[in-house]
Every structure is written in C-alpha cells, then in structure tokens.
Amino acid sequence: MTKITYVDHSGKAREVEAENGATVMETALRNAVPGIEAECGGACACATCHVYVDAGWIDKLPKQEKMEEDMLDFAFDVQPNSRLSCQIKVTSALDGLRVTTPAKQG
C-alpha cells in the first residue's frame, strides 16, 4: 500500500492509505480528507482539487500535461509546486507523498 499525507492550510496532517491506480484526488475523497472539492469529478475541468506538492516530490510526479497547466489558470495562488490532484495517479513510487491543500479552492 502507498501512503499519502494531506496537510490542510492550518497545518493539520492526515496520512491515508492509497490504492495504486486511483488519483490523489480520489484518494482524498474516499478518505474524507477535507480541502479538496473536485467539483467536476476528475475531468480536469474545474481546478477545485488544487494542491501544493511538497518540495522533493514535484520532480518525482508524472509530468503535467498541457490540459492541467491550462486548467491551473482557474486556480488561485498558483505556485511552481501547484498540481491538480485529479491528474496525479497513485503508484508505489509515490509512497510517502505529501501535499498541502489551499485555504480555499476556487
């Protein structure tokens, strides 16, 4: 099992077990992790599953596709480590991944 830690904007961390093949967004919803809305259900069409990926992890993630980069235009306070969690698929290589959710999704 792959473990992922979600940190909310106040600093509270929640570690959950993720199923390989699911997305980081789906894993959050299944485990009732707050801070991710995923209004469009994972179609990369809303930017309400925006997360900041912890330093050290950003280069280990699958590269961002153009659609995700475009959709990040709809998020707020976008940083170089911003990703849409619906576009990150969980694999064993991501064991220990840490992401922070923004104070408010768009």
Partner 1 sequence: MDARDGDHRQGNNMTDIIKTDAVIVGAGPVGLFAVFELGLLDIHAHLIDILPKPGGQCAELYPEKPIYDIPGFPTISGQGIVDNLMKQIEPFHPTFHFNEQVEGLEVLGTPEAPLFRVTTDGGQVFEAKVVIIAAGGGSFQPKRPPVPGIEEYEGKSVFYAVRKMETFRGKRVLLVGGGDSALDWTLNLQPIAERVTLMHRRDDFRAAPHSVNGMRELVAAGKMDLIIGQMTALKGDNGELSAVACKDNANQTFDVACDAMMPFFGLTMKLGPIAHWGLNLHENLLPVDTAKFETNAPGIFAVGDINTYPGKLKLILSGFHEVALAAQKAHRYVYPDKKLLFQYTTSSTNLQKKLGVA
CB nearer partner 1, residue 20 or residue 79: 79
Query: Please, which contacts does 36-43 make with residues 24 or more away whose CB atoms are closer than 8 Å?
Result: 36/6, 36/85, 36/101, 36/105, 37/105, 38/85, 38/86, 42/86, 43/86
| Binding residues for partner 1 restricted to 24-43, rule: CB under 8 A | 39-40, 43
Closest contact distance (angstroms) between CB of 38 and partner 1 is 12
Closest contact distance (angstroms) between CB of 11 and partner 1 is 19
CB nearer partner 1, residue 13 or residue 67: 67
Find residue 7's DSSP bridge partners: 13, 100
